Amino acid sequence: MSRAEVVSSEAEVEATGKQLQIAKTALVEARGRVEEQQRLADAAVTAIQSAKNDAGRLKETISATTCEIDRLIHDVDIHSKESKEATIKLAQMLESNAWIADERHHFGVANGPFDFGKRDPAEARRRVSQLSERRDKLSRTVNMRAMNMLGTAEEQYADLLRRREIVLADKRKIQAVIDDLDARKEQVLRAAYEKVNAEFSSIFSSLLPGTRAQLVPPEGQTILEGLQFRVAFGDTWKESLSELSGGQRSLVALALILALLLFKPAPIYILDEVDAALDLSHTQNIGQLIKNHFNNAQFIVVSLKDGMFNNANVLFKTKFVDGVSTVTRHTPSTSSSALASAALRSAKASDDMRPHQIGGRRKLAA
């Protein structure tokens, strides 16, 4: 074979190989398309079967719905007939039972006498039948005297109801009066509290300069429930009266008493040695306070200290004269201080002229 033939054969073989490769590729693609078509066909078959199943179910649903509609139509006819019968029966009951119109608003109220939800209609009908039979039996043996007594009892009951309404009306009036009195009482009490509290603070500050005092209700309470003292020295408030000295507590009590006296004055007051626990400066303050703020009242004061004597209008001295207790009255013609001092000097100068002691007290009237 010549070289040219060999080359020609190789070219043909190569061309045939390429054609074979192309044919294989086309075959693979054709198979893929066949498989895709087969998958689509299977899906279509499945969809058709599902549609058939759905159609079957829909037919069953339609059939069941048709039956239900027929049943409901039948029920509607029955209920319509029953409704008409009930309407006729209700009209008859309203006509024959006048009490229904008065009690109708109680029908269906929970826990009421006409709570139909808790009562079985069949049981109610049975009970009505029993009561009807009992009524028929009793009607044959009615005691006419009992009927007369019933009428009397009903009249008494109506009279009691009328009296009850009168009592309730009186109760409401009395309660209104009580409420009005309580309101007035509270108003008067608050006015008294404000007045006494203001006077108490002013008097205590006068008796003990540099201090403040007030009456306040306990925490969480009102003045109607109680009051307590509050005392401050400068800007420091004391927690309780136990932090004060005996003399300071005496001034607190005296300030409150005098504040009450200013709120509701009296013609005469008696103070028995209220300055016993106080020093001379505080005693002087008390004497001046009484003299300046209580011009329209008379004080009888028992005291042993000059602070009281110095502010007295009249001084009474008690002393022994020849073993006999005597009382002498002195009206100061000069200064009260000079009179008080003279009285004290006289008491110290002679045993015969020493002041008469009554429980260790010398009496002074101002």
Structure tokens at 271: 């103070």
Q: Is 189 helix (H, G, I), strand (E, B) or coil?
A: helix
Report the domain count for the chain: 1
What is the Cα–Cα distance from 200 to 299, expressed in whole angstroms? Answer: 19
Q: Which residue has the higher pLDDT, 341 or 34?
A: 34
Give the global pTM.
Answer: 0.46
Q: Does 335 score more than 70 pLDDT?
A: no
Q: What is the DSSP track for 235-300?
A: TEEPSSGGGS-HHHHHHHHHHHHHHHHHHS--SEEEEESTTTTS-HHHHHHHHHHHHHH-TTSEEE
Q: Is 300 a member of any domain?
A: yes
Q: Is 55 a member of any domain?
A: no
Q: Is 329 a member of any domain?
A: yes
Structure tokens at 202: 């002013």
Q: Minimum mean pLDDT among 57-71, 137-151, 210-224: which range? A: 137-151
CATH code where residue 322 lies = 3.40.50.300
Mean pLDDT over residues 222-240, rounded?
87
Q: Is 307 a member of any domain?
A: yes
Mean pLDDT over residues 337-358, rounded?
36
Q: Does 268 score more than 70 pLDDT?
A: yes
Q: Is 93 a member of any domain?
A: no
Instruction: Tell me if 244 sits within 8 A of 231, measured CB to CB.
Output: yes
Q: Is 191 a member of any domain?
A: no
Mean pLDDT over residues 196-215, rounded?
89
Q: Is 57 a member of any domain?
A: no
**What pLDDT is attached to residue 337?**
38
Q: Does 237 score more than 50 pLDDT?
A: yes
Nearest Cα to 203, choosing from 263, 268, 267, 271?
Answer: 263
**What pLDDT is attached to residue 315?**
86
Q: Does 318 score more than 60 pLDDT?
A: yes
Q: Is 308 a member of any domain?
A: yes
> Rounded mean pLDDT of the chain?
80
Q: Which domain holds residue 293?
A: 265-336
**What pLDDT is attached to residue 1?**
59
**What pLDDT is attached to residue 176?**
93
